[in-house]
Amino acid sequence: MAAAATSCFVVVLALCLLVSMALMAGHYYGRAELVAGPGCSRLVRANPLFVQDITVRAAEEEGSGASGLVLYGLAEIPGLLDDVPAVWSEARRVVLPANSHKEWVYFLNSGSQIEVNCSVEPGTGLTNPLRITIAQAGKVGFTQWSEEPSVHGTGAVRQSINSSDDYYVTVSNLRDQDTTVTLDFRISAVLYNTSGAEYACSPSPGSSGCTYRLPILGENVAVLSSGLKQGVKVELSYGPRWIVYFVGS
């Protein structure tokens, strides 16, 4: 009888541990490194039952904090400012070594638009084409200049954003010699309305960052926002609500 009771206890204990591990595997939020590019307005959601806070730290090498990075905390999911998008332009002169590429990343919400105009400086030659792509992170499909992805001197590519995500703008030099190109970016970004935020904090580079605490009951979310002048590398981390995992065990 004692042996049967012991066996039953071991089985139940093992099942409890498996359930606890499953909870942690499915709902434990770790750390993520990402780039908050110019005009970033990223919604950050976490299950408050398993997460007690959201922390954002700015990379130390990013300078004095001129990126305008702000972590907002809100009691509910904010609306998008579809009628008043943030619009800005960026001009870049890029020297592309032979058979190389250069890329820039932007987080864009649904409803945003991006346009890239490209011109190749005279004297660099156009024996082989350039390839310009706008690609959603994790997606196979690319939006290219044309069916034959080439630009002969000048060209433009435009993309309307249908899904909020990171988007990579890539310029590839398919030639066997260096090429100098001039790029003009024009971006119309739809941002979240953070006017009703109950928390706002700008993390200083190299500091402990900003932490927004989530009440266990509620639909609280965070919005990570940056200015329009430059991007910044950030670390996003989630503090687990250990009492829930302990009770689950």
**In the structure encoding, which two tokens stand for residue 5, read together?**
């009771």
> Residue type for 178, please?
D
What DSSP line would sit under 107-144, residue for residue? EE-TT-EEEEEEEEPTTS--SS-EEEEEEETT-S-EEE
Residue among 39, 154, 7 at smallest CA distance from 107: 39
Burial annotation 98-121 (CB, 10 A radius, 16+ → b, else e)? eeeebebbbbbbebbbbbbbbebe
The pair of three-digit structure tokens given for residue 45, joined into one six-digit string: 């959601």
Q: Would you give per-residue pLDDT tens digits along the chain (249 residues)?
A: 566 656 665 555 555 555 555 545 444 567 888 888 889 999 999 888 888 999 999 876 544 455 688 999 999 999 999 888 899 999 999 998 888 888 899 999 999 999 999 888 766 555 556 777 888 876 544 444 433 344 555 778 888 999 999 998 888 887 788 888 899 999 999 999 999 999 999 988 777 889 999 998 888 999 999 988 777 889 999 988 777 666 665
Two tokens, residue 144: 């290219």
For residue 184, with 0-12 CB atoms within 10 Å meaning exposed, 13-18 middle and 19 or more buried, which class applies? middle
* Per-residue tokens: 1: 């009888």
pTM, two decimal places: 0.79
Sign of the alpha-carbon torsion through 227, 231, 233, 238: positive
R_g of the chain, CA atoms, integer Å: 24
- DSSP SS3 for 159: strand
**Other Cβ atoms within 10 Å of 23 Cβ, number:** 17
